A and B are shown apart, each in its own frame.
Chain A
Amino acid sequence: MLNVGKIEEGFVLDHIKAGRSLDIYEHLQLDKLDCTVAIIKNARSGKMGKKDILKVECDIDMLDLDVLAFIDHNITVNVIKNGDIVEKKVLVLPAQIKNVIRCHNPRCITSIEQELPHIFYLADAEKESYRCKYCEEKYTETAKINR
């Protein structure tokens, strides 16, 4: 078993579906942060068989984790301070997501208007459904992730 050392301050994102850690890395725009990131792929998990883990050493205010709930609300977010877990964050579906998914309705203004962000709002929290702010087209799993 590969060992990755403890972090002093930051986040440990656990129970990521095996193979999805790079998607999460991109969504959180970790490539743009000057911090230490450990990507652990296919770690053994009693619950999931295999899982991915991301360890991010950064100031805990630096990351917008709202998007995680949209991607996979089963991810466990541990907040680390002074080397200890100080909080386990509960992921809540964000009311709005910006430039995470694209509207694929060819009749939507987002298909032609330059630099218009792709904004989806939470239309039904129970059904976890999102709709495009502009054309109200429902987001479906077949729609592709933006980045």
Chain B
Amino acid sequence: MRHLMSPLDFTPKELDQLFDLANDIERSPSKYAHACDGKILATCFYEPSTRTRLSFESAMIRLGGRVIGFSDAASSSASKGESVSDTIRIISCYADICAMRHPKEGAPMVAAEKSGIPVINAGDGGHQHPTQTLTDLLTIRSLKGSLGNFTIGLCGDLKFGRTVHSLINALVRYDNIRFLFISPEELKCPDYITEMLREKGISYSEVIRLEDVMPELDLLYMTRVQKERFFNEEDYIRLKDFYILDTAKMELAGRDMLVLHPLPRVNEISVEVDADPRAAYFRQAQYGVYVRMALILTLLESV
């Protein structure tokens, strides 16, 4: 039986198989409409996350399965003091697969250790959010044709943004990728990431102005500056609108450049950019459902 705790749990070859399956689901959804008939997904969300939860639920329902679960800790036994280990033992009796989000880092791993069913980490605090990374990789592979040979700009909060760290760790396994880190000084990529890139001999640059690098980019990954990561409200207010991608900046970019964003966005991408065919973030959300469908199928087969 397999679980998914980190995007690196799958080898690049296994990821290719997963993405091939996701692309087949995209092409022929009706072929998979009953693939999970009689199966139940439990969505155990100890903190609210509407998009991720609905994406999982949509994925299971599109496969013909059913969904049970809770959407915040208050409506679960955790409010009565039940441990994660006990909860997953019970959920294993009710469902065939579980997607778990928890504010504490490592909680889904504790669940996986005690579980009788596959567990998917649907986000554990600031630690991992592997299905977001799988979504990003599938989007890039589907829209760019491969996972290699490109320059990717990562823009915004590169210090606290777990999706960015996770994506970098996943991309370093592919060939000929150049990273451009675009952030204010206060939100620079952590040293351990840049150290890792240097050790692996992977090319990267750090810049402050987005305009300066727009023409070089094949992909631009925008991120939101998250209020909850700041201790000081003044810092948040000063940095939250540091980058705003608008049509003027998009004019500097190549015709094939794509803009990705894990969503939700606030002000960092102007609404006027949505109409640009290079804005791929809503298609990215759609790929999020396909990759979760492929993941559910793959993990259920591993039982």
Contact = CB atoms under 8 A, between A and B. Distances in A.
A128 interface: no
Interface stretch (B47-55, B102-110, B175-183): B102-110
**Interface extent on B, as a size class?**
10 to 19
For the residues of A in contact with B, the DSSP-based class is: loop
A114 interface: yes
Question: Most chain-A CB neighbours within 10 Å: which of B83, B105, B109, B125?
Answer: B105
A135 B84 contact: no
Nearest to A103: B106
A32 interface: no
Interface in A125-140: 132-137
Contact of B107 (A105, A109, A114, A137): A109
Contacts of A132: 106
A69 B28 CA distance: 57
Interface string A100-118: 0000010111111110100
A105 B110 contact: no
Interface string A66-81: 0000000000000000
A98 to B, nearest CB: 13
B254 interface: no
Nearest to A135: B105
Given A107-B125, A134-B110, A136-B127, A113 B105 contact: no
A113 B109 contact: no
A113 B87 CA distance: 11
B104 A111 contact: yes
Given A113-B84, A135-B127, A107 B110 contact: no
Given A107-B125, A107-B126, A135 B106 contact: yes
Interface of B: 83-85, 102-107, 109-110, 124-127
26 contacts: A105-B105, A107-B104, A107-B105, A107-B126, A107-B127, A108-B104, A108-B106, A109-B84, A109-B106, A109-B107, A109-B110, A109-B124, A111-B104, A113-B85, A113-B107, A113-B110, A116-B85, A116-B110, A132-B106, A133-B106, A133-B109, A134-B105, A134-B106, A134-B110, A136-B105, A136-B127
